[in-house]
Amino acid sequence: MKSTCRDSGTEGRIVNVTSVGHAMMTYPEGICFDKIHDPSGLIDFIAYCQSKLANILHSNELSRIFKEEGVNISANAVHPGVIMTNIFRDRTIVGAFFNTIGRIICRRVEQGAATTCYVAMHPQVKGISGKYFADCNISSPSLQASDAELAKKLWQFSLQTVSS
């Protein structure tokens, strides 16, 4: 991607899909690095929110690295909204709620894709990097999602994990 952007002079765009859940319920330390390889101590919904926090942190660190390298690639995170999916299929009570009420309050898949498409393609987003978007607008993520040191720690942890 770096080579293509350099050779073509075209901006590359990386869009990571996250969730407002990153701000709802995460572990106090944000990312439980010591539990990632042993998920037995993780709590399902909190682990989901932790993964969404990690998506934003990854986007932020990737954006910082690209800027430092002078590469014409942006990296942003988007919250598509609450979409009617089967994420709660194994949760009887929550699943029943979403199957009933969710049809009324949740977005359709096409509506949920709007922000992702906007950030990936719209000319108004050109040159914008390291941001969190919701409803086709720049939004404010949680304080943990804005923690540059946590983003660097996650990046290093990820590099160590994939190289071992």
Active site residues: 48
What distance in Å separates the CA atoms of residue 152 and residue 164, rounded to the nearest whole number? 18
Q: What is the DSSP string of 53-72?
A: HHHHHHHHHHHHHHHHHT-S
Q: What is the DSSP string of 69-101?
A: HT-SEEEEEEE---B--STTTT-HHHHHHHHHT
